[in-house]
Amino acid sequence: MTTKVLAIDDSRTIRNLLRASLESAGFEFHAACDGVEGVERFAEVDPDVVITDINMPNMDGYGVIDTLRSGPHQTSVPIIVLTTESSAELKTRARDAGATGWIVKPFDDASLVSVLRRLTGHVS
């Protein structure tokens, strides 16, 4: 069974980079361009892992994490924050909201794939 990834990022470039990296590593890739669309797509996709940016229009990454953890979905699916932000305060806020991990952009393809495989048990 293929591991499904839902990536939520307002940058088309980042979504395209993630798609190329993750599909070549054998993941099924789905994307959303902001937090509102990401939360809506979550129910459709039923992903094994979520990757979200923090700074997005309509709903930021903290809103995504909070909604997925405590809203109608109440999921325990791993949520990875992928952002240009790197302050300890923001990382703590994300962790407290329910994020599983934090990766700073620009990301390294091999490292990201390795993290996702560890979190999901995905073996290619």
Q: Could you report the per-residue pLDDT of 61-78, keeping only the tens digit for each?
A: 999 999 999 877 788 999
Q: Looking at this protein, which amino acid is placed at residue 61? A: G
| Angle (nearest 5°) at CA 114 between 112 and 30 | 55
pLDDT at 124 over 60: no
Express each pLDDT in 83-114 by its tens digit: 898 899 999 999 999 999 999 988 899 999 99
What is the average per-residue pLDDT within 7-13? 97
> Is the pLDDT at 29 greater than 70, yes or no?
yes
Least Cα distance to 38 among 19, 15, 64 occurs for: 64
Q: Domains of the chain: which residue ranges?
A: 4-120
Domain 4-120 has CATH 3.60.21.10: no
The C-alpha atoms of residue 18 and residue 9 are separated, in whole angstroms, by: 10
Antiparallel, parallel or unpaired: β 101-104 and 4-8: unpaired
Per the prediction, the chain carries an average pLDDT of 92
